[in-house]
Structure 1
Amino acid sequence: MTDENERPTPEDDAARLGLVVVGEAAALHAGDDGALDASEENIRETIDSMVDEPLTPRQEEVVEQLAAAGGTLTAGLSGALASKTGGKVEDVLAGAARSVVWQQRLAAERAAVQPEGGHGVGSERSDHGEREDAGGQQRRRDGDGRDEA
């Protein structure tokens, strides 16, 4: 991610949050109360380390619930994907974690070669005017909104 002396970029923070969400999903799949408690504590510590000023109790609760909801969605989707493909949930979640790290590295590489005053990494556009994503999951659509062949 970044050196201790550098301020984390938004992409670094997003990667950390993404990994927290994957951790929450893994804890949910484990079904272990200790793992869930540790994951919830990890959410709190991660958020606390990212904010410049303390959050109000309400803001803190909302952010924690958003992270937990992301974990719940990730758990459900990874379970469904594992079931559909005959794979293991753990493998799907490990792949999700690798994707988060890969996306952060891609963002850092783009930022390193981007000229000053350029667009932010999150606004990178392909030659077709579409946002690029790390997993290449975008689909090209024709004028009628159908997937192109």
Structure 2
Amino acid sequence: MTDEHDSTPRPEDDAARLGLVVVGEAAALHSGDDAALDASEQNIRDTIDELVDEPLTERQEEVVERLAAAGGTLTAGLSGALAAQTGRSVDDLLEGAARSVVWQQRLAQERDERAERGEAEDAFDPRDDHRGEREDAGGQQRDRRNHDGHDEA
């Protein structure tokens, strides 16, 4: 996830890593497994420690950890609600969210690579992920509604 010319991760890489930590927290919350929750909380702490350039104060670290946990809580709640509404499993939705995070990071990397090669910005099509189908958290790339606007079975 880093530029081959620089060992410093790009901000998009760090953001993707944090996004995956949040999705991991949501998955741990949905699992109801105390060990998974403990591991997720440790993952939050470890990730923050690795991403900061200078040690955070105890308060700053606590605030950042709580922000990541709150993001996981929101993600868990929204994925649960979406699962109930669409009949999909929470696991499938969280997997889609993780794919979406990785997809966004990949798009940013491709954009940077094109810029390094001097290609025009308009040459980049953000809908092209090398498979012809955009991945996102809810599968919105595939229209599952019939002509009346109702969900198809």
* 1:23 maps to 2:24: yes
Aligned to 1:127: none
* 1:62 maps to 2:24: no
The question of whether the paired residues in 1 share the 8 Å contact of 2:44 and 2:68 is answered with yes
- C-alpha deviations, 1:58-79, integer Å up to 9, x for none? 0000000000000000000000
Aligned to 1:143: none
| CA RMSD across the alignment | 2.1
Structure 2 unaligned spans of 5+: 118-134, 142-153
Aligned to 2:84: 83
Q: CA deviation at 1:113?
A: 1.2
Letter in 1 for 2:71: G
Letter in 2 for 1:25: A
Q: CA deviation at 1:30?
A: 0.3
Identical positions, percent: 76
Letter in 2 for 1:31: G
Letter in 2 for 1:15: A
State the number of aligned residues: 120
Aligned to 2:98: 97
Secondary structure of the residue aligned to 2:9 is coil
1:1-149 superposed matches below 5 A: 1-2=1-2, 6-114=7-115
Q: CA deviation at 1:115?
A: 5.5
Q: Following TM superposition, where does structure 1 have runs of at least 4 consecutive aligned residues deviating by more than 6 angstroms?
A: none
Letter in 1 for 2:43: N
Structure 1 unaligned spans of 5+: 117-133, 138-149
